[in-house]
Structure 1
């Protein structure tokens, strides 16, 4: 914020104005803090983009920090590398992904997984703030017709007939230890064929009969749209995937106001609300940035 030149006779006023500017006074809604710029990223699926836009909108509304948005960077490992390399300073991620995929450690329940997430990240100069409220855990889904044909209710049921089926999942799910390889070990699943594909194509493929089983998220709107049946993870393979902001500690040290601002999202989003937000983008074709902003306004977190 620029301080206008004043006459030398009002030096005190100038000094006071400079002091106020140093505390960040450019936005009536802004919390006191440093002006500067950070880059927020996201993975390449709707929910993650929505969450990233929410964080960006909150920061812009509550602070003087300028936000650069780098959405749809790619899969989990791409976003993680961007954070490690300081190409981005903040993005939304999931406790299960962090613990099991990035660090190859055991998770536990939601509380244990959150504690382990923070412990692991701290060693690498990163921090995980308060969770948003959603637990976007993985699951497996089949068409209603397939579920009825084979009387499928659980993952164990699926394992018994997996040799007759084609698995169609996201590319990274085929290789991640908290994905297909881990399921194979625990349940003994051995599909006739497994195919990697983009998230948006998975549901079309199962509708067209090209695949029989797909991975899905608990908050995915497409589950209802395509009338899929979610199978029970009866051996509890998938860990909790509680979503929240992951940020570089040096960024948090530089802009300590970010913690309080981002923690305003703590517990604000239920699984059902996230399904609806995802549907507004994936089904109703609304823009992610508009859906995210409207949600914040509805929750009273920012003004319309």
Structure 2
């Protein structure tokens, strides 16, 4: 059951009081702000503590700056338990988020929706008072069921459903908890009717999974859609919506949503693709800087 806006706001405010007070001043991205709101004509964009989130925050900030909007970043804040309360108390004004994960956080995993359209609609209703969202991007960082290019060609696989005649011959790989998850082995059986020959416990779309899929030890695997490794594999379309949509979406303080801000952020989101994120994440893996990768993408899409 989806929480009301007031209930969600109250819960997040409680977490804010507990979590932000526990942050040490050393290395804390929020410490410099001291919880103070940004000037009315500027936007402070926060990020989670992983490179893709930091990259997205940098892209949105650079695009706003190029359009004449004063924008700064506070990167590497931490988990949702830290950065969502910071959005509520004005320490930051905007975040690049993932629709399904944010909805699950706000509803304690009780949303009961999976498709991009349904997840976005539910998220808009679940956001706390004073927080709004813009148009989600088609780009997603979600769980995908991946196969090698050779396997996809051999069986003419385009969707997860296409695996049904062949799953009994295949070994499935994924994280150790996958056999007990609906968004895993159970769901593949219940939603798609897939029973694999064997399940091999590996890591979460990491080097063990990548190596096993590449060398044929497994024929299908749980991967992340924006992993740089996905350039070598095929993500099968989740045509029956087993995995909750994780579209990139800017969420921000409602009082920072001007016509200009919305226009700029929506243009970025509209231009962004999952393939772009795969390519940019690979550049970050090669030790290219966030600023350089973001600037190159903005320039390539005439957003600067």
**Residue in 2 that maps onto 1:21:** none
- Rate the CA distance shift 1:229–1:110 in 2: closer, same or farther, 3 A: closer
TM-score by length of 1: 0.64
SS at match of 1:237: coil
Asked if residue 185 in structure 1 is aligned to residue 187 in structure 2, the reply is no
CA RMSD of superposed structures (Å): 4.0
**Residue in 2 that maps onto 1:81:** 81
- Rate the CA distance shift 1:116–1:172 in 2: closer, same or farther, 3 A: farther
**Residue in 2 that maps onto 1:297:** 299
TM-score by length of 2: 0.64
Asked if residue 245 in structure 1 is aligned to residue 250 in structure 2, the reply is yes
**Which ranges of structure 1 fall in alignment gaps of 5 or more residues?**
1-32, 74-78
The answer to whether the 8 A contact 2:49-2:76 is kept is: no
Q: Of the two, which has the highest radius of gyration? A: 1
Residue 223 of structure 1: which of 209, 230, 238 is its match? 230
Trace 1:1-304 onto structure 2 (pairs within 5 A): 34=40, 38=44, 40-42=46-48, 44=50, 47-59=52-64, 62-70=68-76, 73=78, 79-86=79-86, 89=92, 90-99=94-103, 103=107, 104-107=110-113, 109-122=115-128, 126-136=131-141, 138-147=143-152, 154-156=159-161, 158=163, 162=167, 165-169=170-174, 177-191=182-196, 192-201=198-207, 202-224=209-231, 226=232, 228-247=233-252, 249=253, 252-253=254-255, 255-256=256-257, 259-260=261-262, 261-282=264-285, 285-302=287-304
1:287 CA displacement: 3.0
CA distance in 2, matches of 1:267, 1:177: 31
Show CA shifts across 1:252-301 (max 9, x none): 43x4559435344241223444444344444x553333111221233333
* Equivalences, count: 256
Show CA shifts across 1:6-61 (max 9, x none): xxxxxxxxxxxxxxxxxxxxxxxxxxx637784511363x5434212212334555
**Residue in 2 that maps onto 1:5:** none
The answer to whether the 8 A contact 1:40-1:56 is kept is: no
